[in-house]
């Protein structure tokens, strides 16, 4: 498999460049679970290093440049201490990593990682709204070009299905679900139209032909669904505000 050969070569190259500074190399995401779509997925890598100084990073920079030249995103580079310190503010990312990852080299630091969820809902809402605003920008740039419109939707699909799974977590569903299952269950819980998402998932899986559908109709439903989910997340777990006289009593006013 071409992806496996490429991953093996990356590990060999980064080992040679970093030496004893390299703690581990982790593959995470769809490729770690055999759900890799070459057209829409990335080979997501996480490198743990003992030294993250500029001098240390410069040693592995040629390897990262080579990897980027293969049309893959540069890996995330963290120290083991940074992993523990940042888990609370990256609850989405680290929860996903723990559910789908494979150690390519070195220690398994993710296995024992505790991911605090105190700020999870806020992060889900932030990322939903941020990606929604970016989606609108990209949709505006497609003009009347249907191919560009399809590309925008299909390339954004994974990000939104991931966030939909995390909305389910906020609703009390701890088990990780595949994209189609997650969309269908969230649609049932929040009462939105999931047709656009299911159509896009079928197109990505090559189960249906995009050109049999009207791109603008799919885009309209797709955008509306995301807006509805973002609004629903905004109303979750809103603490009740104390009455004004209660505040006055507490503060001695």
pLDDT in tens, the chain (253 residues): 588 999 999 999 999 999 999 999 999 988 887 665 666 567 899 999 999 999 999 999 999 999 999 989 999 999 999 999 999 999 999 999 998 999 999 999 999 999 999 999 999 999 999 999 999 999 999 999 999 999 999 999 999 999 999 999 999 997 888 899 999 999 999 999 999 999 999 999 999 999 999 999 999 999 999 999 999 999 986 544 444 444 333 344 3
- CA–CA separation, 90 vs 126, rounded Å? 12
Distant-in-sequence, close-in-space partners of 37: CB < 8 Å, separation ≥ 6: 30, 204
**DSSP secondary-structure letter at 242?**
P
- At 133, is the secondary structure helix, strand, or coil? helix
Give the DSSP letter string of 39-95: TT---EEEEEES--SHHHHHHHHHHHHHHHHTT-PPPEEE-HHHHHHHTTT-HHHHH
Instruction: In whole angstroms, give the CA distance from residue 121 to residue 152.
Output: 26
pTM over 0.85: no
**For residue 45, what pLDDT is reported?**
97
């Amino acid at each position: 498999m071409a992806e496996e050969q490429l991953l093996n070569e990356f590990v060999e190259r980064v080992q040679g460049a970093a030496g004893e500074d390299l703690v581990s190399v982790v593959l995470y995401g769809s490729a770690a679970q055999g759900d890799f779509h070459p057209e829409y997925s990335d080979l997501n890598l996480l490198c743990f290093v003992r030294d993250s100084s500029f001098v240390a990073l410069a040693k592995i920079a040629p390897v990262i440049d080579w990897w980027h030249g293969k049309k893959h995103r540069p890996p995330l580079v963290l120290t083991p201490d940074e992993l523990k310190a940042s888990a609370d503010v990256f609850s989405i990312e680290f929860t996903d990593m723990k559910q789908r990852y494979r150690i390519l080299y070195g220690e398994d630091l993710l296995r024992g990682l505790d991911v605090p969820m105190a700020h999870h809902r806020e992060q889900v809402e932030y990322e939903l709204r941020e990606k929604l605003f970016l989606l609108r920008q990209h949709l505006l740039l497609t003009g009347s070009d249907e191919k560009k419109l399809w590309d925008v939707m299909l390339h954004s699909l994974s990000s939104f299905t991931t966030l939909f799974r995390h909305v389910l977590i906020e609703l009390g569903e701890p088990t990780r679900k595949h994209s189609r299952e997650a969309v269908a269950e969230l649609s049932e819980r929040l009462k939105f139209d999931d047709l656009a998402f299911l159509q896009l998932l079928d197109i990505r899986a090559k189960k249906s032909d995009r050109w049999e559908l009207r791109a603008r109709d799919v885009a309209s439903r797709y955008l509306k669904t995301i807006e509805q989910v973002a609004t629903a997340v905004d109303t979750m777990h809103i603490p009740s505000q104390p009455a004004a006289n209660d505040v006055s009593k507490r503060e001695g006013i």
